[in-house]
A and B are shown apart, each in its own frame.
Chain A
């Protein structure tokens, strides 16, 4: 049973992209093609149901375009994308896809529609025609899941960035999606708000079994993910566990990505001859590794 009680879920790909291509076509005034930029270049991607996935990439690497595809806000120029078994390029699948894969955007102000927190959380269920009593139940549950029940009667304008972003997540959770795509949800937040949002995402993943796809360029947020994809100029260039990815410090630098400071330090220590394993991700691990190295020598 999944969190919403929809019966057994077989471990299958919730998102499956095959040779996915997206081209932004610029036209001049007469409608002639002026230039084509390829935002997604033959992307193959599989995401397992219930995973916590992180997608990394610097600006313009195509990661936001990919996010919009998962929500059927954009449709493939070439190739196919299946979300929960539904082809996103089919017109009739648009709303089921959007319900299965919710999306949280970067700017917290520009995605809250109502002037009262609880009404905003109810907006999604209203759109998909959920009966009134059920909406109230879902709103309560979602607000509790993100820890914002206290603020249900507040105006969103009075909340902090992190709180607004949690309200936005609650709005998506109320639609009972199988998968939530967070498109740089922390880019405009202060460190406290950032930690709150990421913690909320992990809780949803653990407690409700919702697949999370976190798009970010903060490396620290990626450390606890099940799997990491690195994108560069429209291609998926690296994939693996955070440990596998961050052990390749040189390669990450090539893609203009930062590595967690702890990992860089560990890397530098190893290069200067101290016996530290590759792929150290947290401060705790580094401390242990250094202590171990000290004992041996």
Chain B
């Protein structure tokens, strides 16, 4: 059961989007999110739709993988929509009992739902086409300027990649400890919530002890291999921008430009 957990739901495929520099994807996603929160008007919505579906098409990731991510936020989306629908003051459309649906409320609910859907779809394009390692590499390089003001960027990136390396190991260990404790009569399944949490103690204590021991060992192994932080370190796989990365930046910026123009200069109803 524990083996089913997958982290960073990378979908391997050979596409332009997969080959892009992770920094492009990070910044691109950021710009895309900004565009979602400031679009106004039907033309901008059209632009966002075209952009999103073009990228999904290019990424060669099946659409159903994208939609998977939506399921988890369905409830959040429903709640947001319902609140928007009933609680926005304005011109009344329908009313029954104490609730009334206003024109503004209806509009807000739809816009909000579209925004959230596009947000999840857009960000899953990034996580589905980038391996966790590329992502940490990209983060490290992209945030490098922050290290000048004392943010330990390299250390954070290193921590993230080590965490990714150890998640499967710790999962396996949890499985092992669980079986060992079950063999001694531990019960992880029955009882109410409080009993279940209490029953977790014989699992968590050994797991933590072993995690600390591993951390200690790993720190020593890293030191033995001359690790001394990010200074003076070279990279085996350095990130270098290619031509396609420049093009991608241009495309995203152009798209954001269109959305902004629509917001300011096209007084379309919506």
Contact = CB atoms under 8 A, between A and B. Distances in A.
Among B132, B223, B225, B228: residue with most chain A CB under 10 A: B225
Do most interface residues of chain B lie in helix, strand or loop, or is the interface mixed? Answer: helix
Contact of A127 (B132, B133, B217, B227): B227
A95 interface: yes
A97 to B, nearest CB: 10
Given A119-B236, A129-B233, A111 B217 contact: yes
Contact of B228 (A122, A127, A139, A172): A127
Given A98-B225, A139-B236, A113 B217 contact: no
A101 to B, nearest CB: 9
A118 B165 CA distance: 14
Nearest to A172: B225
Interface string B98-122: 0000000000000000000000000
B74 interface: no
A131 B235 CA distance: 8
B217 A107 contact: yes
A74 to B, nearest CB: 10
Contacts of B237: 119
B244 interface: no
A105 B221 contact: yes
B234 A129 contact: yes
Nearest to A135: B236
Given A95-B228, A136-B236, A115 B133 contact: yes
Nearest to A98: B226
A287 to B, nearest CB: 42
A157 B228 contact: no
A239 to B, nearest CB: 25
A115 B169 CA distance: 11
B214 interface: yes
A271 to B, nearest CB: 44
B232 A129 contact: yes
B228 A125 contact: no
B238 A132 contact: yes
A102 B218 contact: no
B226 A113 contact: no
Given A115-B133, A122-B236, A109 B214 contact: yes
Nearest 3 A/B pairs, CB to CB: A111-B221, A122-B236, A110-B217
9 contacts: A105-B217, A112-B165, A118-B236, A119-B237, A122-B236, A123-B225, A126-B236, A128-B226, A132-B234
Given A95-B226, A110-B214, A119-B133, 16 more contacts: A73-B223, A73-B224, A98-B223, A105-B224, A111-B221, A113-B218, A113-B222, A115-B161, A122-B236, A123-B227, A124-B225, A127-B233, A129-B232, A130-B234, A157-B168, A175-B226
